[in-house]
């Protein structure tokens, strides 16, 4: 894949604007319109004959009891399921199919029928593209050789997700409440709009720095949300690093464990209905955790650190750094006291995602 390939960025933009995108892989080409970006006029242009199908994630299809239909087996392996067009599948019905947070308001949709998916690899790439765009993984799926605004190859979507071209973009002194001696370093990857930052606190002292990988949480970091432990963890990490004399906080733009703010709020709506944080992600059509900590390793290497002491309860962070060539010399526990609103969330992390709490 050429490093100048901009098709994934164009495809993400097009999906969010409600423009058709064609995704190609070794097994074929699919022309798609994100259900979330569609309106009646766009859908009518995309599908004048009213014949298009719908592509959903296997996680969403399971909630709808659609994964046990035999024809869907191939697609399911790729995480995608194709729903046949039926006369009652209009835009409103498709939105209800796409978004599990609306299920209570739409209890009587269907019946739906699955049908064979001709290009499961292309379909899987399309679901990844939706996540990168922060959209629900649900599409209208055109028939035949329909034209598309943007053509993208599955390999370009994969390349877009990798931090290969990450570089330091800017750095400056930034005194913070926790430490006067602090420098902020901003990183950019030309393939991706996310601007990650590192705070370098104190002065290198020959020891591996005390490091915290903090994934963005707008609600917890900035708004004081009590649903999670992110705000207190951020404050405590900055204080611990300052007290240690030398360390780094990486602020990773991985809102909602990588599914984006809007999708995280959909997960919160599902939690309001009684599903836990793990089941909410799966019902939306995402993995339990969509983050890739390779970007954190790339940032650490760019600031000259390949051995760290890591503040975390999450074994996936340790494994992710180690797999990307950063040695984690020790793990330092980073548990906060719970409150009545995040108690169940923390129990779920301990019981279902392997957090050492």
Ligand X SMILES: Nc1nc2c(ncn2[C@@H]2O[C@H](COP(=O)(O)OP(=O)(O)OP(=O)(O)O)[C@@H](O)[C@H]2O)c(=O)[nH]1
| Annotated binding-site members | 212-217, 228, 230, 233, 255-257, 277, 312, 317
| Smaller CB separation from ligand X, 54 or 270 | 270
**Nearest CA to 196 among 254, 241, 237?**
254
Nearer to ligand X, 180 or 329 (CB): 329
How do the residues of the chain divide into helix, strand and coil, expressed in percent and rounded to 5? 40, 20, 40
22 contact, one of ligand X, Zn ion, none, CB 5-8 Å limit per kind: none
b (16+ CB within 10 A) / e for 54-78: bbbbbbbbbbbebbebeebebbbeb
| 280 is an interface residue for Zn ion by CB under 5 A | no
Q: How far is the CB of 59 from ligand X (least distance, A)?
A: 13
Distance of closest approach, residue 341 Cβ to ligand X, in angstroms: 11
What residue 256 binds from ligand X, Zn ion, none (CB within 5 to 8 A, per partner kind)? ligand X
Window 198 to 257, contacts with Zn ion (CB under 5 A): 217, 220, 228, 230
Which residue lies nearer to Zn ion by CB, 100 or 220? 220
CA angle 299, 301, 303 (to 5 degrees): 75
Residue 255 contacts which entry, Zn ion, ligand X, none (Cβ below 5-8 A, type-dependent): ligand X
Helices (H) and strands (E) in the chain, counts: 15, 14
Token readout for 263 is 């999708």
The residues that are catalytic are: 289, 291
CB of residue 308 vs ligand X: minimum separation in angstroms? Answer: 13
Task: State the maximum Cα–Cα separation within the chain, in Å, rounded to a whole number.
Answer: 69
Query: Which residues are annotated binding-site positions for Zn(2+)?
Result: 217, 228, 230
Nearer to ligand X, 101 or 141 (CB): 101
The residues that touch ligand X, with contacts defined as CB under 6 A, are 215-217, 228, 230, 233, 254-257, 259, 264, 267, 277, 281, 312-314, 317, 334, 349, 355
First-to-last alpha carbon distance for the chain, in angstroms, is 42
Which one of Zn ion, ligand X, none interacts with residue 257, CB within 5 to 8 A by kind?
Answer: ligand X
Residues 137, 139, 142: CA angle, nearest 5 degrees? 150
Q: Which residues bind Zn ion (CB under 5 A)?
A: 217, 220, 228, 230
């Amino acid at each position: 894949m050429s490093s100048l390939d901009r098709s994934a960025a164009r495809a993400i933009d097009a999906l969010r604007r409600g423009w058709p995108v064609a995704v190609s892989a070794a097994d074929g080409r699919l022309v798609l319109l994100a259900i979330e970006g569609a309106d009646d006029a766009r859908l009518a242009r995309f599908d004048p004959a009213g014949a298009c199908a719908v592509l959903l994630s296997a996680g969403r299809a399971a909630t709808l009891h659609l994964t046990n239909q035999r024809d869907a087996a191939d697609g399911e392996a790729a995480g995608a399921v194709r729903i046949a067009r039926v006369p009652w599948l209009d835009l409103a019905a498709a939105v209800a199919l796409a978004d599990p947070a609306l299920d209570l308001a739409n209890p009587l949709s269907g019946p739906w029928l699955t049908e064979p998916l001709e290009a499961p690899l292309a379909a899987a790439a399309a679901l990844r593209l939706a996540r990168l765009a922060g959209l629900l993984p649900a599409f209208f799926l055109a028939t035949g050789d329909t034209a598309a605004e943007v053509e993208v190859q599955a390999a370009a979507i994969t390349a877009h997700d990798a931090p290969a071209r990450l570089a330091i973009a800017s750095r400056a002194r930034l005194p913070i409440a926790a430490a006067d001696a602090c420098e902020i370093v901003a990183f950019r990857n030309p393939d991706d709009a996310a601007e990650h930052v590192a705070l370098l606190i104190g002065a290198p002292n020959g020891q591996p720095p005390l490091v915290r990988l903090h994934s963005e949480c707008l609600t917890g970091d900035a708004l004081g949300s009590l649903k999670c432990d992110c705000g207190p963890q951020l404050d405590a990490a900055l204080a611990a690093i300052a007290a240690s004399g030398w360390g780094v906080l990486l602020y990773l733009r991985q809102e909602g464990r990588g599914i984006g703010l809007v999708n995280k709020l959909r997960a919160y709506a599902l939690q309001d209905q009684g599903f836990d944080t793990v089941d909410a992600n799966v019902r939306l059509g995402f993995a339990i955790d969509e983050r890739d900590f390779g970007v954190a390793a790339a940032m650490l290497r760019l600031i000259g650190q390949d051995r760290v002491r890591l503040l975390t309860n999450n074994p996936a962070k340790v494994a992710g750094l180690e797999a990307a060539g950063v040695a984690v010399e020790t793990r330092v526990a980073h548990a906060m006291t719970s409150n009545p609103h995040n108690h169940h969330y923390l129990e779920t992390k301990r019981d279902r995602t392997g957090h050492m709490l």
